[in-house]
Amino acid sequence: MAVSSSFRSGIVLLLICFLVSVSSGALDIVMPAGTPPRLFMTEDEMVRLRARAKDPQWEKQCADLLKEADSCLENVPAIPHQGGQWTHWYSCPKDGGSFITDTPTAHRCSVCGEVYSGYPYDDAYITYMHNRYNNNLQTIAIAYVIEPTGVRAKHIRDSLLEYASFYEDLPLHDRDGNTTLSAARLYAQTLDESVNLCKFCFAYDLVYGDPCFSEEDHRIIQEHLLLPMCETIQRYDMRISNWQTWHNSAVGCAGLLTGERELVDWAINGKSGLMFQMERSVLSGGMWYEGAPGYHWYSFHALYYLLEAAGRAGMNLWNLPPVKRMLDGPLRQLYPDLTFPAIHDSPRTSILGNRGFYEMGYSHFKDERYLPLLTVRDSRDALLYGADSLPEEKGALTLDSYNDDEEALAVLRNPDGKTAVFLDYTRARVGHMHPATVNLLLFAQGEERLAEAGRLPYGNPLHKEWCRQTVSHNTVVVNETSHKRIESACTFFEVGEGWRAARAMATLDGEKYALNRTVVLADKAVIDIFRCRSKEDALFDLPLHFRGEWADLPEMKEEAVSFEAPGYREFREVKEAVSHADWYTVATGASSRIVLQIADAGQQFVGRSPGYQYEENLPMLMRRLSGKEAVFVTVFHLLEGDAVPDAARCSTDASGTVTVQTGGLTVQADENALRITP
């Protein structure tokens, strides 16, 4: 068939235009066509939700939501006409305990009982009051969709008008009371201002068309609340950041609601807009660049608002490839119990707490890998946006071993899926990453066994003094000083017959120190060979923090040991072993235990260390070697019932090669090479 030159020219022109559009990262902005805008539910979706209220699959959830909304309306607190402070100030500075609010000016530590009042605690509580009030607005708005009553719409209208009456009079203030670019009005930072603006937009959109609103009401809400909040937020460009992702969603949703195209373009195509964030903040494996699972979901929660609002306006942002990757990536980082490790500034949480996002993901992508997470459909996202029905057979989630250099994380898993080893070789180049590279985590016998410090509220001094110190992790500390200027790489990763192995190497402080860790997961054991090198004589400490309880401790010296270095001083009840012990046992259940076999000659200190909650007392073992070189060798025998450990044969030859033989495996590791043979 002949093709005309004009047709070929047209195709070339279209291709060029497409390539220019893709390379520029710009998206054509489409504004809502109707009034009300209907950004978070279309008329058809509202009809479907009302039908679900009578559907046996959903009726209880709808009834519970209506009951919750009625309770909110029966107990309406006064809106504080005052900006709130940073909630990370709201914990006991002595022990990290959470506060029990006795009154708005009396905040009692749940651990030590001390009562705090005044700034910043009273002001941080005001933030909680705003948060609670505006979360309730979202609940009442959904209830309005199910049963449209004037009292529900009127409450949202009156609340927005009241906020509009004083918002512009609130002074800018940051978490330290200053007027920096991060300062906001209703809250102490533009991040929280953005989260709250998203909530306002969601609630306002769902009731926008109710007859209780006059044109003047809409004008006041938009000109004296939504748009001024955008001005506050747009002052601070955070570039690559979870903050900026919230900024974009808040400004974008407000722009779509108010008809301000420039705001929508700023949020999507701007210098730090959504298109920029998708290109720069999402790693190729799908995880958020900050390295903490908690911040991955925090950022996706921000995206959710703009994805939904823009989609109903005519811009399908769900089809951007990084969006789906952000749902796929976390499936690799799970423990066997479907929780995420508390790595970096992240709490230990279950992926099931975010299953609502997988409801939405399944609706868009029909990816059957999400189905095992959807056996219970009780999230609001399922109610609002979930598919009408799911396949009866949902299967099981498959968790595999993997290594990802961008994530700086290697994960080893046994074939039965019950044991997982995480080797985190972070480079700690962004703020929420902890300075603790080649760090080891172990999940076995139904629980995390080598534990992480997690995080405390950031305003609490113990977060810096404990959680962000290297010694609170399971890796070597050099000269009692936390890691800095980290360069790292995984130099070996392989899955063999009956074993999985990874090796990560790191340099610290401008290559002054070198760490080289080899981890092998066998059937009933984990082999850990940790080499350390310094250009000058140094102290090398390897702390291990266990979730379990000591059993059969060796004899300890009478006098207690104390340390003064940051992080070390948080150790508790520390004593030194009288002599080198080859074996330690951690009881992990009625008939399960982990037996540690130690094949190095270091000093041994036994004590307690804080856990996710600072008041937790976890068993801690720290070994200490000194010199220009050190090698720590540990075999973790994972035992059930009456099983006894297959004692490892460990040796080091003249060239420095360490050989460990156990469980039918021989592992040989020198400075540069690793050999594993059955």
* Look-up of token digits 């929660």: 301
Q: Tell me whether residue 649 is exposed, middle or buried, using C-beta atoms within 10 angstroms of its C-beta: 0 to 12, 13 to 18, 19 or more.
A: exposed
Closest CA relative to residue 662, chosen from 510, 556, 543, 529: 529
CATH number of 402-677: 2.70.98.70
Residue 437 clears pLDDT 50, i.e. is over it: yes
Residue 17 clears pLDDT 90, i.e. is over it: no
Do 117 and 125 form a contact (C-beta atoms < 8 A)? no
Residue 390 clears pLDDT 70, i.e. is over it: yes
The predicted pLDDT at position 25 comes to: 66
**What is the arithmetic mean of pLDDT over 350-364?**
97
Planar angle of CA 278, 412, 287, nearest 5 degrees: 10
Confidence of residue 298 (pLDDT cuts 50, 70, 90): very high
Q: pLDDT digit string (tens) for 522-549?
A: 999 999 999 999 999 999 999 999 999 9
Confidence of residue 16 (pLDDT cuts 50, 70, 90): very low
Segment (H or E) for 320: none
Closest CA relative to residue 158, chosen from 143, 185, 171, 140: 140
Residue 6 clears pLDDT 70, i.e. is over it: no
Work out whether strand 618-640 and strand 603-609 pair parallel, antiparallel, or are unpaired. antiparallel
Domain spans of the chain? Answer: 402-677
Confidence of residue 4 (pLDDT cuts 50, 70, 90): very low
More confident residue, 315 or 36: 315
b/e code 348-357 from CB counts within 10 Å (16+ = b) = bbebeebbbb
* Number of other residues whose CB lies within 10 A of the CB of residue 108: 19
Task: Give SS3 for 635.
Answer: strand
The predicted pLDDT at position 10 comes to: 40
Q: Which two tokens stand for residue 570?
A: 């948080």
Q: CA–CA separation, 475 vs 439, rounded Å? A: 5
**What is the arithmetic mean of pLDDT over 247-252?**
98
Closest CA relative to residue 385, chosen from 304, 459, 320, 441: 304
The predicted pLDDT at position 44 comes to: 96
Confidence of residue 208 (pLDDT cuts 50, 70, 90): very high
Q: pLDDT digit string (tens) for 126-140?
A: 999 999 999 999 999
**What is the arithmetic mean of pLDDT over 347-353?**
95
DSSP letters, 399-423, are: ---EEETTTTEEEEE-TTSS-EEEE
